[in-house]
Amino acid sequence: MTMSPVQMCRLFLTIGTMAFGGLGATLALIERDLIERRQLLTRADLAEALTYTKFLPGSTGPQVVAYLGYKLGGWPGSALATIAFVLPSATAMLALAAGYAAVVETLPGMTEAIRGLVAAVIGILLATTYRLGKSNIKEPVTLVIALAAFVAGAFAGVNAAFVVLAAGSAGIAFFARASGTEWASAEGQR
Amino acid sequence: MMLLLELVWRFMVVSLLAFGGGQAALPLVERVAVAEMGMVTPEDFAAAVAFSYVTPGPVLILATFIGYRAAGVIGAAAATAGIFLMPWLLAAAAAQVLQRLLQHPWLQAFGRGAGPAVVGLLGVTALSMSVRSVTAWPYAVIVVVSLFLALRMNMNPIVILLAGGAAGVLIGMVNGVTA
């Protein structure tokens, strides 16, 4: 579209810098900057981006940006938008990692602070477990998968990637049959 | 060099299995980088999670932190590229050609199976972090209070993390006085 690479970089650098608080903030900023203010995209574009990236593995925020970037400038536009979007947080993270390394090995009180931090992170992860559980576990089959994954990871030491692949395959076995018949037959005819 | 390649491809695998967004990939990152590969310590992972909430942008930017701890600045670049490359490729391809494929019932069914598995693995991550780090009851109190604040009060994770760190310092001071 009518958008220079410099302009595109500036826009997505801004969104990447201000997107505190995850996907919700990212979407709100895209809506404000790209849809309302500059009218480069429509709400339908954003809805479309969310619909399709939802099915894809990976971080949804950068993927919505990648999708919309493609709409704005093809493959180069998509690459540029995604890099510009991720760059601010990557830079901040790098600075924090370097600072952490310097501080954690010198300041005496830091190990105590980090122990408290770890405990708080565990609490937050448990809250995330509950929320994801509520949206992902809706029938006996998914409950069995979740419990099996826990046992396999905690007590049997099964590789995490393997657990997810096995669970996904189980998902295909249980859920694909009902809605997947047309595809199966279409492929069978080929 | 081997470590850099390892970082790129391990994070690539993690990103390709992250059905359900960045949060869903946290247990995979912990399992792969800490438990299976031993690239960083559990404390490093916890700090990475904490910082990923504090910084803007996606949670999976914690790959940058882990990459740095494992192999310096180049490691950070390798891990960051690894975790975002494939999801970017897939999303841009989705905008171009993949739309029909994405509605394939098999892909959706795979996601429906992988979702609950990630929940189970998150439990494993929380458990293994607890076993190592919750060494005394005051830390267990921090865990429970943080869980309550995050779940019931919907409090900003940054505030919870700061409070947790401050509580840790307090616990350390009290222990220092009694010891």
Q: What is the rounded distance in angstroms from the CA atom of residue B3 to the CA atom of residue B85?
A: 18
Pair A10, A99 in one domain = yes
Pair A117, A90 in one domain = no
Pair A113, A181 in one domain = yes
Pair A118, A185 in one domain = yes
Pick from A97, A109, A129: CB nearest B68:
A97
Boundary of a domain, candidates A103, A121, A139: A103
Q: Where are the alpha helices (DSSP H) in A21-59?
A: 23-30, 43-53
Q: Hey, are the CB atoms on B110 and A16 less than 8 Å from each other?
A: no
Q: What is the pLDDT of residues B74-117, one digit of tens each?
A: 999 999 999 999 999 999 998 887 666 777 888 888 888 988 99
Q: What is the rounded distance in angstroms from the CA atom of residue B51 to the CA atom of residue A39?
A: 34
Average pLDDT over residues B131-152: 90
Tell whether the model's pLDDT for residue A162 goes beyond 90.
no
Pair A22, A88 in one domain = yes
The amino acid present at B82, given as its one-letter code, is G
- Report CA Rg, chain B: 18
Pair A96, A128 in one domain = no
Q: Hey, are the CB atoms on A116 and B144 less than 8 Å from each other?
A: no
Q: Please indicate whether residue A141 or residue A3 has the higher confidence score (pLDDT).
A: A141
Minimum mean pLDDT among A148-157, A177-186, B18-27: which range? A177-186
Contact residues for A66 (Cβ-Cβ < 8 A; gap 6+): A53, A78, A81, A82, B87, B88, B91, B92, B95
Classify the phi-psi angles of B141: left when phi > 0, otherwise alpha if psi is within -120 to 50, otherwise beta: alpha
Residue A185: predicted pLDDT: 38
Q: Is B39 on the interface with A (CB under 8 A)?
A: no
Q: What is the rounded distance in angstroms from the CA atom of residue A154 to the CA atom of residue A133?
A: 17
Boundary of a domain, candidates A36, A70, A103: A103
Q: Is A100 on the interface with B (CB under 8 A)?
A: yes
Pair A126, A45 in one domain = no
Which residue shows structure tokens 């840790």? B168
Q: What is the rounded distance in angstroms from the CA atom of residue A70 to the CA atom of residue A18?
A: 22
Pair A70, A112 in one domain = no
Pick from A122, A131, A170: CB nearest B113:
A170
Domain that holds residue A149: 107-189
- Domain spans of chain B? 2-104
Q: Is B76 on the interface with A (CB under 8 A)?
A: yes
Residues in B 133-162 with any Cβ partner in A closer than 8 A = 133-135, 139-140, 142-151, 156-157, 160-161
- What token pair was written down for A161? 């990637």
Pair A35, A11 in one domain = yes
Pick from B14, B15, B61: CB nearest A90:
B61
The interface predicted TM-score (ipTM) is: 0.85
Number of domains in chain A: 2
Pair A150, A64 in one domain = no
Contact residues for B32 (Cβ-Cβ < 8 A; gap 6+): A160, A161, B10, B13, B14
Pair A76, A112 in one domain = no
Q: Hey, are the CB atoms on A168 and B19 less than 8 Å from each other?
A: yes
Q: Quote the percentage of chain A above a pLDDT of 70.
A: 90
Residue A123: predicted pLDDT: 93
Q: Which residues in chain A are closer than 8 Å to B19, comparing Cβ atoms?
A: 57, 164, 168
For B81, which DSSP code? H
Boundary of a domain, candidates A44, A75, A103: A103
Q: Is B24 on the interface with A (CB under 8 A)?
A: yes
Contact residues for A145 (Cβ-Cβ < 8 A; gap 6+): A167, A170, A171, B113, B116, B117, B120
Identify whether the C-beta of residue A99 lies closer than 8 Å to the C-beta of residue B113.
Answer: no
Residue B158: predicted pLDDT: 84
Minimum mean pLDDT among A17-31, A124-138, A168-182: which range? A168-182
Pair A13, A97 in one domain = yes
Residue A190: predicted pLDDT: 33
Q: Is B4 on the interface with A (CB under 8 A)?
A: no
User: Which DSSP string do the residues of A130-172 spell out, in sequence order?
Assistant: HHHHHHH--SHHHHHHHHHHHHHHHTS---HHHHHHHHHHHHH
List C-alpha distances in Å: B70 to B33, B58, B77, B110.
9, 20, 11, 32
